[in-house]
Amino acid sequence: QGYSAVHCASAYGRTLCLELIASETPLDVLMETSGTDILNDSDVWAPVSPLHLAAYHGHHQAMEVLVQSLLDLDVRNQEGRTPLDLAAFKGHVECVDVLINQGASIFVKDSTLKRTPIHAAATNGHSECLRLLIGNSDLQSALDIQDGKGQTPLMLSVLSGHIDCVYSLLNKGANVEAKDKLGRTALHRGAVTGHEECVEALLQHSANFLAQDCKGRTPIHLAAACGHIGVLGGLLHAAQSVETLPILTDKEGYTPLHWACYNGHDTCVEVLLEQEIFQKAEGNPFSPLHCAVFRDNESAAEMLIDTLGRVIVNAKDSKNRTPLHAAAFTDHVECLQLLLSHNAQVNCADAAGKTPLMMAAENGQNNAVELLVSSAKADLTLQDALKNTALHLACRKGHETSALMILEKITDRNLINATNAALQTPLHVAARNGLIVVVQELLAKGASVLAVDENGYTPALACAPNKDVADCLALILSTMIPVSPCTPAPPHPFRVINHYTTTPSMTVSFDSLPTVRDEHTSYCSFNNIGHHDGLYREEDLNDSDSETY
């Protein structure tokens, strides 16, 4: 592997061996004079220097022998880390002391995360090493030095919950308002990880609990989103010092109450609802009640209704969709029952003309369909903006069970043969999608086999996979069907042959709130050589907070 005798002696702390070798051959000769060229030597190609090995394993006496002959103590390994960085990362105070006294730099950054030895000590909670490093720096900027993501030692200490390091940095004057490249402070990290002692220490040093990150989220947002009730309580207590607290909305208009409801943190919902500021319908019209029922958080939904009143039950978002639409879309029956028991409007249509039943039918949510057609007596005759009934929509998406549930409640032949904007009956749509049982039931209830759509096709021709096949079938059928003088002629096979299309349905999809996970491991990770992944994952920057669904 390219290790020399000096490497082996350094790795295992064989101080006497090093002294013996040094007495026979100067160490600077063995280690390529400066120590910086050891990796480039054709005969010595080990991935790290002897000094790295001694520092990593904490052999400070071996280091004292090595540093006597080295001109450069800041030799780097393949990742750009110096011996001081490794010693600080591992918490070897004596090694850190030896290197600092010999002039090793505490400001050298590695080549991957761009972190210094100060970051390394703060990340792993080595408070003695941290104090030693800070104490030997004359620059105040050492306290707030940033890594490649803009993170300071204070941020990393809070992220990992190292309260001793947090106090060491704060007492030395670390900037509590420093922000990383995403606008997040140390307090944001405390809110995410739930380290209450760290949050308390930051608040004692006047950390801004209203600071907004690049998405407009405050620490209060993140504490509510992650369900850290202790941290949330501390932040809300600090907020009482503000005479007039502003409406806490992020850039998408979501409040901490939205986030707590969305992620199902009932205790946080309860605490937030005790605050007068959250007892009003503020922020994004995709309301906290929408969030709660969309995520099947019935208890949170009930708290909202009890506290804010029934007026919120039929609140509409930017697309005129009510909480009942959201519950129907996601098939959350308990939430549907809760909303209906508080007079939710079962036939309320959104901006696309879709009712909750249509939304459930289009997405094959059988439980919701059954509840809406049976208990709630939803109107089956209603049509959306494209004149589709709930039956059309269920058939169009191939949801046979939902279609049959709706069919069971239909007795009116006119409704069986209702046409949409493309003049298609449910039989056209069901046949086109191969729903055999639905077709049988439609025929049994009187569905017309001669109805023609906007292309002049009957339900039989609608089964054709494309226009050419449909036209061929029309030609064949026209020669097979005898026409008497008193019988109206069937449609000419080339009548209204413009294009074979199926009018696209206006499908719907819910874009969920970006997840802020309650496990802080989602925001950070450590490996066995001390790499730290940072607070926020990359996909958190690319999410969509819109409430389209």
Q: Contact 122/154 with Cβ under 8 angstroms?
A: yes
pTM assigned to the model = 0.82
Give me the percent of the chain exceeding a pLDDT of 70.
83
Mind listing the pLDDT tens digit for each residue in 158-167?
999 999 999 9
In the predicted model, what is the mean pLDDT of residues 445-465? 93
Domain spans in the chain, listed from the N-terminal domain onward? 349-362+372-480
In the predicted model, what is the mean pLDDT of residues 101-127? 96
At 471 the pLDDT is 85
Q: DSSP of 426-445, one letter per residue? A: HHHHHHHTT-HHHHHHHHHT
- First-to-last C-alpha distance (Å) of the chain: 58
pLDDT at 514 over 70: no
Mind listing the pLDDT tens digit for each residue in 280-304?
888 999 999 999 999 999 999 999 9
CA distances from 186 to 203, 212, 311 (A): 11, 12, 39
Q: Contact 417/451 with Cβ under 8 angstroms?
A: yes
Question: What burial class does residue 208 get, using C-beta atoms within 10 Å of its C-beta: 0-12 exposed, 13-18 middle, 19+ buried?
Answer: middle
The span from the CA of 224 to the CA of 206, in Å, is 21
At 287 the pLDDT is 97
The span from the CA of 52 to the CA of 396, in Å, is 67
At 160 the pLDDT is 97
| Architecture (CATH level 2) of domain 349-362+372-480 | Alpha Horseshoe (1.25)
The span from the CA of 107 to the CA of 100, in Å, is 11
At 12 the pLDDT is 87
pLDDT at 451 over 80: yes
The span from the CA of 299 to the CA of 543, in Å, is 27
In the predicted model, what is the mean pLDDT of residues 509-521? 48
395-433 burial code (b ≥16 CB/10 A, e <16) = bbbbbbebbbbbbeebeeeebbbbbbebbbbbbbbbbbb
In the block, residue with structure tokens 């906007």:
454
At 418 the pLDDT is 98
Mind listing the pLDDT tens digit for each residue in 367-413?
999 999 999 999 999 999 999 999 999 999 999 999 999 999 999 99
At 111 the pLDDT is 96
At 483 the pLDDT is 52
Mind listing the pLDDT tens digit for each residue in 243-284?
888 889 999 999 999 999 999 999 999 999 999 999 988 899
Q: Contact 71/31 with Cβ under 8 angstroms?
A: no
Mind listing the pLDDT tens digit for each residue in 19-43?
787 776 655 555 544 443 332 333 4
* Element spanning 24, H or E: helix 15-24
What integer best gives the mean pLDDT of the chain?
A: 86
The span from the CA of 28 to the CA of 187, in Å, is 48
Mind listing the pLDDT tens digit for each residue in 47-90?
889 999 999 999 999 999 988 877 789 999 999 999 999 999 99
